[in-house]
Amino acid sequence: MLLHIPNPLSAVPSVRYGVFAASVAIAFAISLLKLYQYGACVDINEEEYQTSLRTQQQRAQNLPPGTFFCTPSSFNNGTHVRRPLGFVRTVDELIYKAGYRCTSGGSKDLTQEELVRKKRAMEWTWEPTSCALLEFDPLLFTRHLERNPLLFIGDSISRQQFISLRCLLGDYVRKIDDPFSDSTFFMPDKYSAEWRIQLSSVAVRENRTMSMFLRSDFLVRSRDLDVIKPGEDLELKRDPFNFAWSHLVPEFKYVVINTGAHWNKHVFNTSLPILEAYQIMINKVLEYFTTKHPCVRVFIRGSVYGHFNCSQYTEPLLNPRLPMPIAGQHNWYDMLTMNELWKTSIHDFGNPQITYFDVSFTELRADSHADPKKPDCLHYLLPGPMDSWNRLLYHELFKKLL
């Protein structure tokens, strides 16, 4: 099935402009998509892969008596543990110690104060106390995603999770920069110009796409709260960065999806109360996956509220500090209700392929926000808490495969 991308220059007679107009139009459309992609390198050693697989299987079989694998719910029962990283001189050295094999996108021109803050935040990791988590293995995850690709859909927080995964898999994926936009793509062994003007099932398979991020802040059209579809360019004038996503789902085995941070009256154009509109959106999204793609494994990631005046925190909280419904905190207070709406609706739909992906332990990381001086007290540092999201995702996929 080819992905249809509407031609923004469709009013121009094709007789006059021919292939040139079509090429420019498609490049323009793709630059708007804000779509990110990466694939595997081809030089993964098969013997190394089999050894890693056997090691993981042995770990799974040798759990202590009475120990059970974590679920997304039980994983959130735990505590933060500090593991000092020692002295570091540069950001590169810091992210390498965190297990990253990439550039996480943050500034390298940090002051000593900011470097110390970032290091201190990275030293804390979440450990569940009542269940066991499979050890993250980037080689196994890479090989699995080659055959079972993963799609992230959501806002800039979802993009951060996507970047975190790319960095955790770093040794096994390859980076390609796309000249048509400011987007960064991660592809397999060789540069391919063709995929940018195809964006079809063939392009995904030929490029061995492992994972992709697509920006869609609301998932649905604000005018009628239906799932947004390709070709509805007028919707972007109402809701910037609310790009169509449903056409990509058939090409992926797994989908991680989230929406929440932008649901407020200042941004989302609806006459309904926000939480009422949000519930309608939930029903439309769950119905879409249940009826159209019942075999796709879907993870609905919970939203994590920010922390007002986050520069005051220097270590994880012991207990959640809930946001108050006051001006200046966006819709952070509503996120708690939004998460509960998802949980209830997923339970009521009863689709075993759809899982609520609980990351509420992150609510304790008031110390790990991206830039308290801006202030940006919603996004998180990379490396940071989102790495645990991806380790939990790996665990959820592999505990049923081993």
Structure confidence by residue, pLDDT tens digits, 125-170: 999 998 999 999 988 898 888 888 899 999 999 989 988 998 898 7
pLDDT tens digits along 283-296: 999 999 999 999 99
Q: Which two tokens stand for residue 223?
A: 């005018």
Q: Is 18's pLDDT higher than 80?
A: no
Q: Is 187's pLDDT higher than 50?
A: no
Residue predicted with more confidence, 381 or 209: 381
The percent helix, strand, coil of the chain (3-state, each to 5) is 40, 15, 45
Confidence of residue 344 (pLDDT cuts 50, 70, 90): very high
Confidence of residue 297 (pLDDT cuts 50, 70, 90): very high
pLDDT tens digits along 362-378: 999 999 998 877 889 99
Q: Is 281's pLDDT higher than 60?
A: yes
Q: How many CA atoms lie within 13 A of 353 on its CB side?
A: 16
Confidence of residue 17 (pLDDT cuts 50, 70, 90): very low
Strands 254-257 and 150-154: parallel
Q: Is 182's pLDDT higher than 50?
A: no
What is the pLDDT, as a whole number, of residue 241?
81
What is the pLDDT, as a whole number, of residue 107?
57
Reference 352, options 399, 395, 296, 303; nearest CA is 296
3-state secondary structure 101-123: CCCCCCCCCCCHHHHHHHHHHHC
Give dist(CA 142, CA 157) in Å, integer.
22
What is the pLDDT, as a whole number, of residue 381?
92
Q: Is 123's pLDDT higher than 50?
A: yes
What is the pLDDT, as a whole number, of residue 373?
79
Mean pLDDT computed over 78-88: 92
**Fold entry, domain 14-398:** Rossmann fold (3.40.50)
Residue predicted with more confidence, 27 or 102: 102
Residue predicted with more confidence, 11 or 277: 277
Burial annotation 301-323 (CB, 10 A radius, 16+ → b, else e): bbbbbbbbebbebebbeeeeeeb
Q: Is 190's pLDDT higher than 70?
A: no
Q: How far is CA 10 from CA 102, 208, 209, in A?
A: 40, 31, 29
Mean pLDDT computed over 177-187: 38
Reference 190, options 206, 201, 202, 210; nearest CA is 206
pTM, rounded to two decimals? 0.82
Give dist(CA 52, CA 228) in Å, integer.
41
40-49, 225-234, 390-399: range with lowest mean pLDDT: 40-49
